[in-house]
């Protein structure tokens, strides 16, 4: 489904935190509304463990070389890998960006930039301040292409 993130290979802690925020209604996502009602903590832990063990599988389309190179330069210049790891596989509460769906990444980054996020870790606050739509689209293209 458009704008749905891939969960496979996401860090377990990130998945657990996110599932709990969604269940508690603190991170509102229309498509997820009510789906986790009554799901217990043990089941959340099991779900997170399950998805974190699945191999991440990139579904990116063809690479746009120019956009990819701009995205790579922006990511390395701005040290995104200090938290998300140099491979962008994510760790702990930092999500995997490598191989994530491009439309979802771009939407998330616009929400962070425009301070429209709710119930998300505040470490991304301010990180994308001043980024243009093109910067965000190039970053999303770059991450989505990584394996
Ligand atoms: C200080 C640590 C830190 C740095 C530096 C950082 N991030 Fe993040 N990022 C996070 C955390 C923590 C989250 C999880 C937010 C949440 O969903 O609760 C996140 C989430 C994201 C997401 C959402 C992905 C998803 O699956 O929901 C994107 C996209 C992202 N970061 C891109 C970037 C980019 C691009 C940079 C560099 C310009 C960057 N981040 C730098 C910590 C960081």
Could you read off the pLDDT of 26-77 as tens digits, one per residue? Answer: 999 999 999 999 999 999 999 999 999 999 987 788 999 999 999 999 999 9
136 closest CA partner among 99, 127, 79: 127
Could you read off the pLDDT of 68-80 as tens digits, one per residue? Answer: 999 999 999 999 9
Q: How many Å lie between the centroid of ligand 1 and the Cα of residue 20?
A: 18
Give nearest CA residue, ligand 1 atom 28: 109
Give nearest CA residue, ligand 1 atom 34: 80
Torsion of CA 32, 56, 135, 66, to 10 degrees: -140
Taking residue 107's Cβ as centre, other Cβ atoms within 10 Å add up to 17
- Average pLDDT across the chain, whole number: 95
Could you read off the pLDDT of 125-137 as tens digits, one per residue? Answer: 899 999 999 999 9
Residues with CB under 6 A from ligand 1: 5, 75, 78-80, 82-84, 93-95, 97, 100, 105, 108-109, 120-121, 123-124, 127, 139
- CB-based burial, 72-104: b 16+ in 10 Å, e otherwise: bebbeeeebeebbbeebbbeeebbbbbbbbbeb
* Residue found by looking up tokens 């599988």 in the block: 57
| Alpha carbon 85 to its chain's center | 13
Please give the pLDDT value at position 116.
Answer: 93
Give nearest CA residue, ligand 1 atom 39: 80
């Amino acid at each position: 489904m458009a704008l749905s993130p891939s969960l496979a290979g996401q860090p377990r802690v990130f998945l657990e935190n996110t599932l709990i925020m969604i269940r508690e209604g603190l991170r509102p996502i229309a498509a997820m509304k009510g789906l986790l009602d009554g799901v217990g903590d043990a089941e959340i832990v099991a779900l997170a463990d399950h998805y974190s063990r699945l191999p991440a599988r990139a579904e990116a389309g063809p690479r746009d070389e120019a956009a990819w190179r701009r995205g790579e330069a922006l990511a390395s210049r701005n040290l995104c890998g200090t938290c998300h790891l140099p491979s962008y596989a994510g760790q702990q509460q930092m999500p995997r960006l490598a191989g994530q769906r491009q439309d979802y990444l771009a939407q998330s980054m616009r929400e962070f930039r425009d301070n429209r996020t709710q119930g998300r870790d505040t470490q991304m606050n301010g990180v994308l301040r001043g980024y243009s739509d093109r910067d965000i689209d190039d970053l999303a293209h770059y991450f989505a292409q990584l394996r």
